[in-house]
Structures are given as structure tokens and as C-alpha cells.
Structure 1
């Protein structure tokens, strides 16, 4: 009985601890959606995320200004290179990438907004404990608000502000720790070795605005 009481107290103490900033798993795959406050942009995508090699693969479908588009891109941040991949004719465009790699998770400078349960806390398996954080975007270009799971630091939602679209929301779902086929984070054999010198350097938002 005494052992049960001690274990219960230890468990209650762990759950009562204040959440801390965290890093998401370095290898993730799943799906995400992106939407804008002004309703001009929405995107759904399958994603592969490799924080160790600073690589991201996005296979997207979406709409911008009532025009639909599809896009398959590979972002190699260490090489400052992006590939737009066209499987139907086995071609690709190699372009410079000007964005810095931003790992998923919560930076140490963020502030805790609160902890909550998605769903219900009435019964086992009915809810998910999450933490919501706020902070400054890199170079203080704006604010962000991010929600991650309390256990595992799995991304749920990120909200940030842009001048062109207002608030942008990214929702993550069907997340899986690990990548089943790491070869998808390498450029296909038919991709060129040299960049197209006529292409402007791309960033994350330009994937949705200029490449369809």
C-alpha cells in the first residue's frame, strides 16, 4: 500500500511539472495543411522531415487565388538547394534556396501560453495533452504560436503572421516517427547537376505562390 502511495505521488509530481521548450523527433513523416487568413491560399501535403540532414520533401496539392496546383519539391538546406520534381516526364528544376532550416519544436526563447486537452479528459484515449507556446519568428520578423504534444513534442498546429497573407496556419496530422523510405530525400537520378541561372532564390512561401 505504501509503495502504491509513493508511486502515485511521484506520478502526480511529474504531471504537475511546468512544461519546458522541446525538440520534435529528428525524423518525421506524415501530412500537413496550410491555410491563410485572407482565404487566398490553402494547401495539403505529404511531408518527410529530416532534421539530422536538414532535408524536407513536400508533395502538395492546393489552391492560390482560385487556381489549383500540384507540386513535388525537395528542400536541401545544407546545400541551399531546392529541386522541383516532375515525375510524369522525369525532369526536374534545380534552384537556389535562400531560407534557413528551422527545426520543428519549441525554441528556448518561447513562452508558455497554456496547457490543454484536445478532445476529452473524461476517459482513457479520449483526449490528447498539448502545450501551446508563443514567441518571435527568426530575426524578429513577426510572432508565432505553436501547439505540440506534451509527450513527444509532436507538432500539432503552428500559426504565424505574414505581410501578404496575414495569419498563416499549418496543421500537422497522421504523424509518424521515422521515414520509411529515406531515398526520397535524395534528388532523383534525372535531376540536373547545375542550377538554372534564371531562377530566383526561393523560400518556403514562394513554393505556393510562384511555382504553379
Structure 2
């Protein structure tokens, strides 16, 4: 009986720990893949993220079926400004950022939907445990599904399904690979020289 009570206690503790969202790194870089299912655009690029300065740098590379072009974009949320450089023409477009800044990571009030293994845990270095989180926006019609590593809370995948402000359907799929902590060059968050 004592063994059953002890097992139940540890099972409850483990379940409660799994349901507490982990905290993602405040500064990281990664390869980012984005697919817009509605527009049929597939883009691959490099993302640099700094939570403290509320800056995100995204360097896109044009990929198959994409008519978006190639851009180097700095989102400077504290300044509420977006700097976008067309990689072909080297022209800069500076525009106001109207959206709110959301720290990268599991959204507050998300629901833990479970954990699974990518690969295998039968040998060292053969797999990773992943947590899945579900978030429904206050508007009731938009949802996020987010996947993060259980250890380190590194982003793996995010899926957004909903509508934009004009009522158009949105269906985005993001994947993150080769995530590294920190940034190689802090100047990545400087305003691009083409925009000065």
C-alpha cells in the first residue's frame, strides 16, 4: 500500500512538472523554415532573437514556390519599427510595427497536450523528449500548437491557424533547426546600414 501511495505521489509530481511551461532561452539563433499553406509560399532563413532588447532579425532566402523575394528584416519592437532590406536591390523600407511584442516561447495560459520522443532514447544521443502545447487566442478562432524540447526549452515547431484582421484565412507552419544559444555577432541587431 505504501508503495502504491509513493508511486501515486511521484506520478502526480511528474505530471505537474510536465504541465508547467518551460522557459525558452532569451537569446538564440536558428535556421527557420516557414510555410504559408494558404499562399503556398515556402521560405527558409536565419533567425536571431534577443528577448531583452525585444529585437528579432530574420534573413530570408527565397525558396521553391515562393514569390516573397529575399529580405533581411529587423523587427525592433521597443522602437516600434521594422527595417526591411530587399536583398536584390539593397533598398530599405522603414515602417512602423503595429503588432505587440510577444516573448518567444510557450504562450501564457497554454494547455499542455503531451510529450513524445523524436528519434529514440534507446542509446545516448539518439533522441530528444518534446513537449506539445496548445493555445487558443481570445478571439476564439485562432490557435497555436507549439513544440519545445523538454530539456533546454528549445523551439522545434509552431503552427498557427486563424484569420488576419481582414478576415482572410491564415495557416502558417514554422520549424526551427540548428538552434544555438546566444548570437555569433551582437551587431546582428543593429539597424542595417542600408537603412541609415
TM-score, normalized by the shorter chain, greater than 0.5: yes
Partners of 1:174 and 1:117 lie apart in 2 by 18
Task: Pick closer, same or farther for the CA change 1:120–1:54 going to 2, 3 Å.
Answer: same
Cα distance in 1 between the residues matched to 2:140 and 2:126: 38
Q: Tell me how large the CA RMSD over aligned residues is.
A: 2.7
Distance (Å, rounded) in 2 between the aligned partners of 1:170 and 1:189:
28
Within the alignment, does 1:185 sit opposite 2:194 as a pair? no
Q: 2:157 corresponds to which residue?
A: 157
2:4 corresponding residue in structure 1: none
Which is further off, 56-65 or 92-101?
Answer: 56-65
CA apart distance, 1:55: 0.2
Q: 2:83, 2:192 within 8 Å by CA — same for their partners in 1? A: no
Counterpart-to-counterpart distance in 1, 2:146 and 2:132: 6
Change over 3 Å in CA distance of 1:138–1:177 after alignment to 2: farther
SS at match of 2:69: strand
Shift of the alpha carbon at 1:73?
0.6
Shift in alpha-carbon separation, 1:70–1:88, aligned structure 2, 3 A: closer
Residue correspondence of structure 1 range 18-33 to structure 2 within 5 A: 18-19=17-18, 20-33=20-33
- Taking the aligned partners of 2:104 and 2:115, their CA distance within structure 1 comes to 19
**Equivalences, count:** 182
Distance 2:171 2:87 in 1: 33
Structure 2 residue aligned with 1:83: 83
**Matching of residue 41 in structure 1 with residue 41 in structure 2:** yes
TM-score normalised per structure 1: 0.75
State the shift of 1:69 in Å: 1.4
Q: What is the alpha-carbon distance in structure 2 between the residues aligned to residue 95 and residue 113 of structure 1?
A: 38
What secondary structure sits across from 1:99 in the alignment? coil
Contact 1:29 1:49 in 2 (8 A): yes
Aligned match of 2:50? 50
For structure 1, the residue ranges without an aligned partner over 5 or more in a row are 1-8, 193-212
1:38 and 1:165 in contact (8 A); partners too:
yes
Q: Equivalents in 2 of 1:102, 1:141: separation in Å? A: 19
Give me the whole-angstrom Cα distance separating, in 2, the residues matched to 1:66 and 1:47: 18
Other-structure match for 1:130: 130
Asked if the contact 2:49/2:57 (under 8 Å) is kept, the reply is yes
